[in-house]
Structure 1
């Protein structure tokens, strides 16, 4: 059976949902797209497992299950850089999480995409929609994941190629 593709900017990319992941210290926001990669929508907020080492933590397993269930073509993980573009502790944490996720979802590619300002934008959007700070805490990570994913989808359409940098799964 041949892989279905669709035209994006003159280049065919495989059809399939895309997942967007916003990695935080306490929670992981998850968003998904339709199979054609047009619109990102929130999925859920997954509790973060901070002391995990391998791909067998509850947070990574939950995202891997979602990728399998949706026949994901790619998983985009937000890369939190400083406004200057420099990388810090949050960046290292997101990279480590993405590497564990890449191991769990193989052969689905995991790619890191710039997420500067995604949480700030998500907070502003929720506040503008009338959500109070306390009531939007559970959904802020999902909203940030939607922003990360929609940005990656827009970049795919503009470039005709997957967005971001490919994460190599660690050797076991």
Structure 2
């Protein structure tokens, strides 16, 4: 098997998470400036066997797409050109940032660390990926 990579795509930063090769556990990787995401992905895909990327689908409570979706679709188009052999999946990312903030606060991190947006993005990507894995197993 190969890894699944998740991206919590944002205008400024992208949080990233990946599974193990058995696709059992989702782990946070890092947060990368959005302008550098393809540099990171090219290196990561060279060094790791990635079969799928999961990208958050930003919707509100009514199911309407967030304005960032236009940027995400542009990213996906370029990703498919650069990595034609890697499947792209979308997964609802509602509440992941709020859940990430909650989990970070429960972890005992100090206030400054809890408010670090990069950490929230990385944990959000991990939540997206873990939820994706759980739905895939059903």
| Moved >4 Å (runs of 4+) | none
Q: Is the 8 A contact 1:64 1:101 kept in 2?
A: no
Query: CA deviation digits over 1:26-64, x for unaligned, max 9?
Result: 110110001111110011110112xxxxxxxx3123123
Counterpart of 2:69 in structure 1 is 91
Using structure 2 for the length normalisation, give the TM-score.
0.90
1:19 equivalent in alignment to 2:23:
no
Q: Where does residue 65 of structure 1 map in the other structure? A: 43
For residue 93 of structure 1, report the CA deviation from its aligned partner: 2.1
Identify the range of structure 1 (135-144 vs 90-99) with the bigger mean alpha-carbon deviation: 90-99
Give ranges in structure 2 of 5+ residues lacking alignment: none
Partners of 1:72 and 1:108 within 8 A in 2:
yes
CA RMSD of aligned residues (A): 1.5
CA distance 1:132–1:24, change in 2 (3 Å): farther
Partners in 1 of 2:25 and 2:50 — Cα distance? Answer: 14
Alpha-carbon distance, 1:17 to partner: 0.6
Shift of the 117–107 alpha-carbon distance from structure 1 to 2, 3 Å rule, reads same
Is residue 114 from structure 1 mapped to residue 92 from structure 2 by the alignment?
Answer: yes
Corresponding residue SS for 1:73: strand
* Structure 2: distance between partners of 1:152 and 1:68: 24
What is the deviation of 1:133? 4.4
Instruction: Please state how far the C-alpha of 1:130 moved relative to its aligned partner.
Output: 2.1
1:155 lines up with 2:135 in the alignment: yes
Which residue number corresponds to residue 22 of structure 2?
Answer: 36
TM-score for both structures, normalised by structure 1: 0.73
Larger RCO: 1 or 2 (CA < 8 Å, sep 6+)? 2
- Asked if structure 1 preserves the Cα contact closer than 8 Å seen for 2:51 and 2:85, the reply is no
Aligned residues: 136
Give the aligned partner of residue 121 of structure 2. Answer: 141
Moved more, 62-71 or 145-154: 62-71
Which structure 1 segments of 5+ residues have no match?
1-14, 50-57, 159-172
Radius of gyration: which is bigger?
1
